Every structure is written in C-alpha cells, then in structure tokens.
Amino acid sequence: MISAAKIAGALGAEISGVDLARPLSPEEFGEIKRHWLEHLVVFFRNQNLTETQYMSFAEQFGEPIEYPLVKGIAGFPKIIEVKKLEHERVAFGGIWHTDTAYLERPPMASMLLARELPPHGGDTLFANMYLAFDSLSPALQKLLEGLKAINSSTKADASKTREDRIKTDGAGKQDFLAEHPVVRTHPETGRKALYVNSGHTVRFAGWTEEESAPLLKFLYEHQVRPEFTCRFRWQPGSIALWDNRCAQHNPVNDYHGHRRVMHRITLAGDVPR
C-alpha cells in the first residue's frame, strides 16, 4: 500500500510502499500524482534504479527533455549528472532557484536520484511558492499580479554555480532569456504561486534593474522564510520529485573535500500563465 508521511508543515512528503523499478499501475500513478500535487515535492527511499528504469519512471510521469546547458550521460542524453567532486568548492545550482526559468516553457518537474553521497551534508532545501504568495499583503499581491519578470541563464550568481560542469561536461555556452508572470497560476491546482527566483530573475519587465532590485530583494528573502521550507537528507537510492511550477530548491554546499553525484531528469512543462 502506498502511503505518504509529511516531513514538514510547509511542503514535502516521503512516499513508501512502491517499487519504481517496475511500471506503475494506473492506481499507483494516480496516488503518487495526488500526493505530489498536494505536497509539491515527494521523496522515495531505496530506489536503486538502473538508468533505463529511472527513465521509464520519468516517462510515466511526463516527457523527459534535455537540459539546455549540460550534456547528458553516455547513452542517456536526457539524464545529466549533478555532481561536485572532491577538489571543487562550488556546487551545481547552489542557489535558491526554480529550474531553467529562463526558458519560454520551463519544466513542469525535475527529479534527482542519489548515486554517490558525502559522509555528511549535501542536503537539499525546498520552498513552497504558494505560501510565499498567500502570505503577502493583498495590496502587494495585486501589484505583483500585474507584473512580468525577465529571467536570464547568464545571471552572475547562477552562472557561477555551473562553471565547472559546463567547462568539463558542457554543451557549449548559450544565452537564454524569457519573460514570465511574477505570479503564475498552476495549470492543475489553480493555485497562485510566486514565480521569481534569485538564480535567474534579473528585473521586472518595463523596469530597470536598479528599480527592480529593492522589491526583488524583499521577495527573494520572503519566499524562503523557514516556515515555507523543508529539508531532505539524502541516502543512496533516494529520489526527489518536485513541482517546478510552485516550488524552489537549494542544495546545501557543506561537504567540501567529498564527492556527491546525482542523476537528474527534467520533465517538459507549459508556458507560465
């Protein structure tokens, strides 16, 4: 029997009672999907999948797509390694962000499978963007609902977290730019979520960067308040599946001198509305 245990008040649930190495029944898929939409990010333990099994699970959930800046692993172009090696100091994606918000059609979801882990540290934080929006004053909500934001793949802080991977594994330098609503409506739940992030958002459309900076700074700090977040401790074979339309994440970079290797699959999404 599939069951889900919440790991925090804001978001996140650990699902048990399912073996992802085999195809899901329609009932199992429906149950997992229901928990995912409710909790925004779900976690599975002890899922030591081959790359083929991992792709099969992803394909049941959505359409895997290639990551735009890093090449996939051998034989599986839609699985990328998210890794930090012993000599490296900067972690891939080591900043609060929503995955690839600089694309016209950002992904619906992302999933990570833990392959190699440090002896300690390397947890991932997640934050609930429904709560981030709901807790704002009505006046600020109204202002933000009328705005769009410019998101860039070359924002300095985010680019820095990808330097080593692009240098060693990358698909070449590319610049992506996209304009999205500051508040997006989830196409399945109908709920409103704050949709700016410190990794990719550079300014509001029609505003200068200087004009945008004070309000964006407030939003970046507000949306990751502790009561909006959860923290997941990885084990080999753990999988995290998060809804990129209403959740942000941030890998904690606290394991210098050790190796951490994860396999990531990204699932196609729609144009934010």
pLDDT, position 93: 80
- Specify the residue for token string 């009328």: 146
CA–CA distance, 45 with 163 (Å, rounded to integer)? 31
User: Which alpha helices (H) appear in 127-191, and where do they start and end?
Assistant: 129-134, 138-145, 156-160, 163-169
pLDDT, position 158: 61
pTM over 0.75: yes
Distances (CA, A) of 237 to 29, 52, 111, 137: 20, 15, 12, 42
Ordered by start, the domain boundaries in the chain are 3-267
Backbone angles phi, psi at 113, to 5 degrees: -120, 125
Contact 98, 244 (CB under 8 A): yes
pLDDT, position 217: 98
CA–CA distance, 46 with 152 (Å, rounded to integer)? 36
pLDDT, position 155: 85
**Catalytically annotated residues:** 97, 99, 249, 264
CA–CA distance, 129 with 101 (Å, rounded to integer)? 14
- Specify the residue for token string 């790359």: 51
Mean pLDDT by 10 residues, the chain (273 residues): 97 98 96 98 97 98 92 96 92 89 97 98 98 98 98 74 56 81 98 97 98 98 98 98 98 96 98 97
Q: Do the strands 41-44 and 13-16 form a parallel or antiparallel pair, or are they unpaired?
A: parallel
pLDDT, position 174: 74
CA–CA distance, 42 with 147 (Å, rounded to integer)? 31
Q: CATH topology for 3-267?
A: Double-stranded beta-helix (3.60.130)
Contact 149, 196 (CB under 8 A): yes
User: Which alpha helices (H) appear in 75-137, and where do they start and end?
Assistant: 129-134
Of 213, 148, 210, the closest CA to residue 177 belongs to 148
pLDDT, position 143: 98
Q: What angle do CA 185, 182, 166 make, to 5 degrees?
A: 105
Residue 74 is classified by DSSP as: T
